[in-house]
Amino acid sequence: MEEAVLKWIHTMRDKNVPISGPFLIEKAPKFVKALGYDEFRGSNGWLEKFKRRHVIMEKVISGESKDVDDNDSENWIMETMSKILRL
Q: For the segment 42-76, what is each residue's pLDDT rounded down to a tens digit?
A: 889 999 999 999 888 765 555 544 555 666 777 77
**Degrees, nearest 5: CA angle 20-71-84:** 80
Q: Which domain holds residue 33?
A: 1-86
List CB contacts of 4: < 8 A, sequence separation 6 or more: 31, 34, 35, 77, 80, 81, 84
CA atoms of 32 and 45, how far apart (whole Å): 17
Closest among 58, 50, 67 to 19, alpha carbons compared:
58
Of 25-34, 36-45, 63-72, which range is least confident? 63-72
Q: What pTM was computed for the model?
A: 0.60
What is the DSSP code (8-state) at residue 6?
Answer: H
